[in-house]
């Protein structure tokens, strides 16, 4: 089985990279990708654990773009985790996450929901922090029943402690993934529910759609599979597993990408790497500012 959408404690997952890989092996997975939000800090540890257990690990990431008032999550695969353009971009992304966490904590205080953000921000270098960490702190402090309650009353878009994200457009994220030798897949388009964005992203170089996902119904998977074919895109898939019982209906082994689809992704990646080697320069690095929406990160 193949799962190309997994999260660890390097962002908002509950399992450290080695533990996640061990659980994946126990679930029967043989090819996986750790796709933490705006960080590659878990890849090295996951890769070592995968090698010990005979699993193949594809370098992965889930990067956040902003289109209008919506967060758009773009998965990157087969890239060089140490590429300079990617590293500089991710440093800026994580810095904005810190800004956002501090501003949300400041808004929570007058609401009677004060939390200490310093422990949330004190993780190892490269760790990516977002709203789920704040939600967990609210639960621990008795201010919310669970993550869903925290988002519904306090942290979701339009709620009193919500702070917009600043970010670049999807086309720039795609260009950065390509510059680092990788391919870009739009994450959970059924959750995003903005199909009108997809043709423009495809024109900007998007390589694939995440057709199979824990939140997609059979009808949605069929729809996005057809749409991928119409736009000349490959198809990706993964569970979006963050930990047992904490994120959607995701479970290890619950979503598996077919081998033929994986082989196509790999061939597209080989072509992109060839383009990156021959390209005279990386993408522009200016940053547009916009408001963000869901999904959660």
Give the contacts of 258 (CB within 8 A, at least 6 positions apart): 2
Instruction: Band the pLDDT of 98: cuts 50, 70, 90.
Output: confident
pLDDT of residue 108: 95
Length of the chain: 297
Q: Which two tokens stand for residue 277?
A: 């080697």
CATH 1.10.10 describes domain 91-155: no
244 has a pLDDT exceeding 90? no
With CA atoms as reference, report the closest residue to 154 among 141, 169, 173.
141
**Confidence at residue 275, expressed as pLDDT on a 0 to 100 scale:** 73
pLDDT, tens digit, 9 for 90 and up, residues 250-268: 788 889 999 999 999 999 9
If phi > 0 it is left, if psi is from -120 to 50 it is alpha, else beta; for residue 242 that is alpha
Distance CA 35, CA 76 (A): 8
* Residue 182 banded pLDDT, cuts 50, 70, 90: very high
d(CA 73, CA 295): 8
Assign 185 to helix, strand or coil.
Answer: strand
Which of 105-119, 141-155, 252-266, 273-287 has the lowest average pLDDT? 273-287
Measured in whole angstroms, how far is the alpha carbon of residue 49 from the centre of its chain?
Answer: 21
**pLDDT of 283 above 50:** no
**Separation CA 248–CA 151 (nearest Å):** 13
């Amino acid at each position: 089985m193949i799962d190309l959408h997994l999260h660890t404690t390097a962002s908002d997952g509950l399992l450290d990279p080695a533990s996640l890989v061990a659980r994946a092996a126990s679930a029967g997975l043989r090819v996986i990708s750790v796709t933490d939000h705006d960080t590659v800090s878990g890849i090295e540890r996951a890769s070592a654990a995968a090698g010990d257990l005979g699993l193949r690990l594809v370098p992965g990431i889930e990067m956040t773009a902003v289109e209008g008032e919506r967060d758009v999550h773009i998965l990157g695969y087969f890239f060089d985790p140490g590429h300079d353009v990617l590293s500089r971009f991710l440093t800026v992304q994580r810095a904005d996450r810190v800004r956002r966490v501090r501003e949300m904590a400041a808004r929570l205080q007058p609401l009677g929901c004060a939390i200490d953000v310093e422990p949330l921000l004190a993780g190892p270098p490269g760790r990516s922090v977002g709203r789920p960490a704040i939600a967990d702190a609210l639960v621990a402090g008795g201010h919310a029943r669970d993550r869903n309650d925290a988002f519904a009353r306090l942290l979701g878009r339009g709620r009193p402690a919500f702070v917009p994200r600043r970010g670049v457009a999807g086309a720039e994220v795609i260009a950065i993934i390509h510059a680092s030798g990788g391919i870009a897949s739009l994450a959970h388009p059924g959750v995003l529910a903005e199909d009108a964005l997809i043709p423009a992203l495809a024109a900007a170089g998007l390589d694939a759609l995440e057709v199979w996902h824990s939140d997609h119904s059979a009808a949605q998977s069929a729809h996005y599979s057809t749409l991928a074919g119409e736009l000349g895109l490959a198809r990706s898939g993964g569970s979006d597993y963050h930990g047992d019982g904490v994120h959607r209906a995701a479970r290890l082994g619950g979503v598996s990408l077919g081998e033929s689809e994986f082989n196509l992704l790999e061939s597209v990646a080989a072509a992109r790497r060839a383009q990156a080697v021959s390209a005279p320069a990386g993408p522009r690095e200016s940053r547009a500012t916009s408001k963000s929406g869901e999904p959660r990160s």
